[in-house]
Structure 1
Amino acid sequence: MEIVRKNSLEEINATIPVPKGTGGIFKKLFAFSGPGALVAVGYMDPGNWITSIQGGSLYSYLLLSVILISSLIGMLLQVMCAKLGIVTGMDLAQATKCLVGKKAAFVLWVAAELAIIATEIAEVIGSAIAMNLLFKIPVLLGVVVTVLDVFLLLVLMKFNIRKIEALVFTLITTIFVIFAYEVALANPDLGKIFRSFIPQYDILTAQVEGGDSAFFIGLGIVGATVMPHNLYLHSSIVQSRKYDRSDETALKEAIRYATIDSNLQLGFSFIINCLLLILGASLFFGKNPDDIGRFAQLYTALQDHTMVGAIASSTLSTLFTVALLASGQNAAITGTLTGQIVMEGFINFRLPLWQRRIITRLIAIMPVIGCIYLLGDKGDMVEKLLIYTQVFLSIALPISMVPLLYLTSSKKRMGKFVNCVPSIILGWLAITILVILNIQLISETIQMLFN
C-alpha cells in the first residue's frame, strides 16, 4: 500500500525553528530539546509511582533491574519513534495504517484507545488521592473533580508547544529534586542498591504472602515504564521542529539531537522511578503487606521522624503529594495529545482537544467510581486497580512495538536511516520476551480465577 504523507498534529508541525549551519551545538540541542520531556512524563506517571513503591515495599531492591531493563528498552524504542517521524514525516499511527490497511487500523485504534484509557485511570486515581491527602477531599469527589482539568488544557492551548515543553520539564525537575531529597533522608543501603541492578531469578518466583508476586509487579513496572501511547506521541511531536526535510544532512542532524534529548529525559525518569522503589523499600520492606506501600501510608511515613529522620515533617509529606498531583497533570497533557494523534492517524477523525479530553476522562472515571462505590475508598482496592491498569499496558505494548520495529527496520521506508542490525535483534528479543511473559501472566491469572 502506498504511503501518503500527511502532517501529524498539523497545528504544531514544523513550528519550532532550529539554528542553521554547523556552529552552535548547544543552541541546536536546546532548540531540539523538549519532545523528550513530554515523552518522559509517561515514564513517571502515577502508575509508575504505585508499581515502584509496591515493588520496593514487598521485595526491597529486587525489581530495580526490571526498571533498568525497561528503561533501556524504552530508550531504544523512543529513538526508533523519533527516527520514524523525522524520516517519513508520519507518526506511528499513520505509518501503521498505511502498512496494514483501514480495517486492521481500526482494530489497532481501539487497542491504542484502551491503552490511553488505562493510562487515564492511573492519572485519575493518582490525582484524586493527592487531593484527598492535601485537601481532605473524599476520593470519590476527587475522581469527579479530575474532569475539570479540561480547563487546565484550555489554558495551555493558548501557549505554543515550546512553552508547554518548558512547563513539563520544570515539573519533572521538581519531582526529581523532591524524591532525591527524601531518599537521602531515608538512608538506603547503597551497596544492595547497585547489586540489585543485576537481574535475579527470584523476580520470576518470589511471592510474599498476602501481596502480589514479584513477577506480577515486575510486569506492572514494564507496563508503567514503556507505555504504548508514548510511541505514538514521540513519533508526532518530533515533527514540531522546522528543518529542511528534503536534506539528508538535516535529517541526520535532527535524529542525532532528538536521540540526545530523548535519552537525557528518559535518564531522568529512570532515576525518579528508582528513587520511588528505593523509598518504598527503605520505609516499608519487611512489614505486613496489608499495611505498606500505598500512597496514604507513604504520606504518613514521611511525617514520622523514626522512619525518615529528624528532618521529617509535614513539609516532606506535602512535597510528596504536590509531586503526585503534578505527575498526574503532566501525564494528562500528553495523554490528550496522544489521543488526538491515534484518532487522526488510524481513522482520520479529529475532535477539538478539549472535547477529546472530556470524553476520555469521563470514560476513565467510570471504572474508578464503580470500584469505589462497590468496595469503598478506605482499603487498597483503588490502588490495586491502578496496578492492574499498568499490567494491562504491558500486555498491550507489543501491539505498538511490532509495527514500530517492522517499519523502522524497512530500508524501503527508512532508506539510509534504517535500524542497524544490533537494534533490530534487541528489539525483536525484547518483544519476544515480553510476549512470553505476558502469556505466562495471562495463564496464571486464569488459573487463579478458576481455583
Structure 2
Amino acid sequence: MAFLSRHPGIARDAADVIGSIPIPGAGAPWFRRFLAFVGPGYMVSVGYMDPGNWATDLQGGAQFGFTLLFVILLSNVMAMLLQALAARLGIGTGLDLAQACRARYSPAVSRALWAACELAIMACDLAEVIGTAIALQMLFGLPILVGTLLSACDAVLVLLLMNRGFRWLEAFIIALMTIIAACFGLQVLFAAPHGGAILSGFVPHASIVTNGAMLYIAIGIIGATVMPHNLYLHSSIVQSRAYPRTPSGRQDALRWSVWDSSIALSLALFVNAAILIVAAAAFHGSGHQDVAELQDAYHLLSPLLGYGIASTLFAVALLAAGTNSTVTGTLAGQIVMEGFLDLRLAPWARRLLTRGLAIVPVVFVVLIRGDGSVNDLLLFSQVILSMQLPFAVIPLVRLVSDRALMGPFAIGPVMKVAAWTTAGLILILNGKLLFDVVG
C-alpha cells in the first residue's frame, strides 16, 4: 500500500489522478454508480482495436474466410479475464502492475520486464504510425512517408487532452470508439454475410493449429488483441475513482470496474469480428483471397460491396483507431516507465520519444522497399506484441495469486486454473510460432 499515496497518476505531467474522480454514495441508483466507473475499460479496449488488429483480421478473413472468428472470440475472452485480473491487482493493492513487479521482484528481473514492455509499446506505436499514415493516404492522398512524419504531431493532441482532465480523455476515447463501431456496423450490413457461415466460424477448427500460415495469423490476432501494456495501464487507471479505500469499498469498485471492462471489450470483440466478417464476405469468396493490405481493402470494398461510401467508412474508422491508440499508448508508457524505474517524463516528451522510435523503422522501410512494404511491417509488429505477452501475463497471474500481497483479493482455485490455462496457451502458441520461424 505504500505506493498508493505517491503513485504519480496520468495527467499534467504525472500529477495525481488516483482517487480524483468522485463517485455517488452507496445509496445512489445503481446506474449512476455504474456510469461513474465507466471509462477505464474503454480506454483499455482501445488497444484491442488498433490498426494492428486490422491487418491480422483483414488478412485472416480474406485468406481463410470465417474460420478465425473463433480465435478472435478466444482472444477476447482471454482479454476479459486478464483485464479483470489487472483491475483486481490495482484496486486490491493500490499498486499498478509495474509498481507491484518492482516491489516483489529483484532489480534485474524488473528491468527485464520493463524492457519487454517497452518493446511491446514500441511495436504498438509502430502499428499506430502505419495505420495513421495509411488512413491519411486513403482520405487525402498523402504519401505514406508524409503521413508517417505527420503522425508525430499527435503529441499536441495528447497534451491538450491531458491538460483538460481525465474524464475528457475518457469521453474522447468513447466518442472515437463509437465512430469506429458505427462504421463497421454499416460495413457488415453492406456485406450481408450469411449467418450460418458466421456462426460456423466461432466453432474451433483443427486447421488453426495444423496450418502454419493460419497459425501465424492466429497468433498475430492474439498478440493484437491481448495487449501486454494494457495490463499495466488498466491496473493504474482503475484507481482513478474516489471509492472508499476499505475492503468493502474496494470490492464494490472491483465489481463495477470488471463490468466496465467486460462491456467495453465486448465492443472491441464486435469491431474485430466485423473486420474479419467484412473481409471474408467481400474478399474470400470473390477471388481476392490474397488481399492482405489495408490499401487494397480500401480500393476494393466499394466496388465489391456496391456502396460508394464503404471505402470512406473504412478509412475514417482506421484514422479514428490510430488516433485513439495514440492516447492510451502514451498513458501506458508513462505508467510503465514510472512504475518500473521511478523515472518521470512530461507526457509530450514521452510521446515524442516513443513516436520518434516508431517513425524511424517505417521511414527506413518505405525508403528502401516502398510504400507497399509497410503492411508486412504492420503484421510483424503484431507478432512481436504476441511474443511479449508472457512477460506481462505470467507476473500478473503470479501477483494476483499471492495472498501475502493481495490479502482477501487473492484469486481462488478456479480463477487460478483459468488464469494459468490462459498463460499456458499463450506460451504454447508463441513457442509453436518461434519453432516454425526458426525451423
Q: Which residue of 1 aligns with 2:12?
A: none
* 1:255 is aligned to 2:254: yes
Report matched runs for 1:48-197 at 5 Å.
48-197=53-202
Deviation at 1:205, TM superposition (A): 2.4
TM-score, with structure 2 as normaliser? 0.96
Q: Which residue of 2 aligns with 1:233?
A: 233
Question: C-alpha distance in 1, partners of 2:205/2:301?
Answer: 30
Contact 1:35 1:238 in 2 (8 A): yes
Q: Which residue of 1 aligns with 2:218?
A: 218
Question: C-alpha distance in 1, partners of 2:339/2:386?
Answer: 22
Q: Which residue of 2 aligns with 1:404?
A: 396
Question: C-alpha distance in 2, partners of 1:8/1:238?
Answer: 14
Q: Which residue of 1 aligns with 2:242?
A: 242
Contact 2:62 2:289 in 1 (8 A): no
> What CA deviation, in whole Å up to 9, does each residue of 1:228-272 have, x standing for no partner?
010000000001101221x21111110010010000000000011
Aligned mate of 2:418, from 403, 426, 436: 426
Question: C-alpha distance in 2, partners of 1:101/1:386?
Answer: 34
Question: C-alpha distance in 1, partners of 2:76/2:435?
Answer: 26
Q: Which residue of 2 aligns with 1:210?
A: none
Contact 1:75 1:266 in 2 (8 A): yes
**SS across alignment from 1:17:** coil
* 1:280 is aligned to 2:279: yes
Runs of 4+ in 1 over 6 A off after TM superposition: none
Question: C-alpha distance in 1, partners of 2:284/2:254?
Answer: 43
Contact 1:44 1:225 in 2 (8 A): yes
Q: Which residue of 2 aligns with 1:438?
A: 430
Code of the aligned partner of 1:145? L
CA-based RMSD of the aligned residues comes to 1.4
Code of the aligned partner of 1:230? N
> What CA deviation, in whole Å up to 9, does each residue of 1:133-192 have, x standing for no partner?
111100011111111111111211221111110111111111111101111111111101
Code of the aligned partner of 1:276? I
Question: C-alpha distance in 1, partners of 2:344/2:438?
Answer: 38
Code of the aligned partner of 1:382? V
Code of the aligned partner of 1:201? A
Specify every segment of 5 or more residues in structure 2 that has no aligned partner in the other structure, as ranges. Answer: 10-14
Deviation at 1:338, TM superposition (A): 0.5
Specify every segment of 5 or more residues in structure 1 that has no aligned partner in the other structure, as ranges. Answer: 208-212
Question: C-alpha distance in 1, partners of 2:135/2:384?
Answer: 23
* 1:346 is aligned to 2:340: yes
**SS across alignment from 2:302:** coil
Question: C-alpha distance in 2, partners of 1:223/1:174?
Answer: 24
Question: C-alpha distance in 2, partners of 1:131/1:395?
Answer: 29
Code of the aligned partner of 2:321? S
Query: Once structures 1 and 2 are overlaid, which stretch shifts more, 284-293 or 230-239?
Result: 284-293
Q: Which residue of 1 aligns with 2:375?
A: 383
* 1:360 is aligned to 2:358: no
**SS across alignment from 1:137:** coil
Question: C-alpha distance in 2, partners of 1:175/1:289?
Answer: 24
Code of the aligned partner of 1:177? A
Q: Which residue of 1 aligns with 2:317?
A: 323
> What CA deviation, in whole Å up to 9, does each residue of 1:167-220 have, x standing for no partner?
11111111111101111111111101112111110111236xxxxx11000000
**SS across alignment from 1:262:** helix
TM-score, with structure 1 as normaliser? 0.93
Deviation at 1:316, TM superposition (A): 2.4
Contact 1:57 1:292 in 2 (8 A): yes
Deviation at 1:303, TM superposition (A): 2.1
Question: C-alpha distance in 1, partners of 2:281/2:330?
Answer: 35
Contact 1:3 1:98 in 2 (8 A): no
> What CA deviation, in whole Å up to 9, does each residue of 1:277-323 have, x standing for no partner?
0011111114666851321122112221xx213xx01x322221111
Code of the aligned partner of 2:294? F
Deviation at 1:3, TM superposition (A): 6.5
Alpha-carbon distance change, 8 to 199 in structure 1, aligned in 2, over 3 angstroms: farther
Contact 2:128 2:326 in 1 (8 A): yes
Percent identity, aligned pairs only?
A: 42
Question: C-alpha distance in 2, partners of 1:62/1:39?
Answer: 27
Code of the aligned partner of 1:25? W
* 1:202 is aligned to 2:196: no
Alpha-carbon distance change, 435 to 302 in structure 1, aligned in 2, over 3 angstroms: same
Alpha-carbon distance change, 416 to 334 in structure 1, aligned in 2, over 3 angstroms: same
Question: C-alpha distance in 1, partners of 2:27/2:74?
Answer: 35
Question: C-alpha distance in 1, partners of 2:146/2:122?
Answer: 20
Deviation at 1:444, TM superposition (A): 1.0
**SS across alignment from 1:263:** helix
Q: Which residue of 2 aligns with 1:371?
A: 365
